[in-house]
Amino acid sequence: MKKKGTILIENVVFIILNLLFLSVLVLFLVNQGSGAIVLEQTYAKQIAMLVDSAQPVMLIKIDMAKGKKLAEKNGIDFNNVVSISGNIVTVKLSEGKGYTYAFFNDVDVSAYADEDDKGDDTGLYVLTINKKEEVATNE
């Protein structure tokens, strides 16, 4: 009787270790797919492609719920995740300098986090595309 019990414990330990091993593997895969570096690059390129194919006047909403979750986890304000300077879009979801990508469409783009009636972030980002205003020159 005593012997049978020993064998059972060994098997249970073996199964638990296997499960632990598989869980670590799955967690690693899930974390890699939703990591800051991967998401920053995905969003930056996605926004650049959207702006490139857009025409003035347009309003585009982009779902960044995953990014919002990650930004909050990393202590980044969701309102500062996307910034557009000239024709370069920067997405920052962690403490690093973020990921930048250039778009060729020379339009006036502004990006801001969408808020609901209560003033909470909805997880969407709004891109407004307008025609670039000509700079008046005095000759």
Partner 1 sequence: MNKYNKDKRGTDKILSIYWFVILTLIAGGVFAMVYVFYGAPYDVREIESEILSEKIADCISNEGVIDSEFFVDNIFNTKINETFNKKCNFNFNVEEEYGDANEIQYFYEVEFYTLENIANPAFSFYNGNSNWKGDCFIKKENGKEYTNLAKCTEKRFYALSEKGNQYLIKILSVIGKSEKNVRQ
What CA–CA distance (Å, rounded) separates 15 from 25? Answer: 15
Site of interaction with partner 1 (CB under 8 A): 10, 14, 17-18, 21, 25, 28-29, 32-33, 35, 38, 41-42, 45, 48-49, 52-53, 86-88, 100-102, 104-107, 132
Q: Which is nearer to partner 1, 14 or 112 (CB)?
A: 14
Q: Which is nearer to partner 1, 41 or 122 (CB)?
A: 41
Q: Which is nearer to partner 1, 109 or 113 (CB)?
A: 109
Using DSSP's 3-state secondary structure scheme, residue 88 falls into: strand
Q: Which is nearer to partner 1, 84 or 115 (CB)?
A: 84
Residue 72: its H or E element:
helix 65-73
Q: What is the smallest separation between the CB atom of 21 and partner 1, expressed in angstroms?
A: 6
Angstrom distances, CA of residue 13 to CA of 17, 23, 78, 95: 6, 15, 44, 40
- Full DSSP string of 20-36: HHHHHHHHHHHHHHT-H
Q: What is the smallest separation between the CB atom of 19 and partner 1, expressed in angstroms?
A: 12
Q: Which backbone phi and psi does 104 adopt, to 5 degrees?
A: -95, -15
Q: What is the smallest separation between the CB atom of 111 and partner 1, expressed in angstroms?
A: 17
Q: Report which DSSP code applies to 128.
A: E
Q: What is the smallest separation between the CB atom of 29 and partner 1, expressed in angstroms?
A: 6
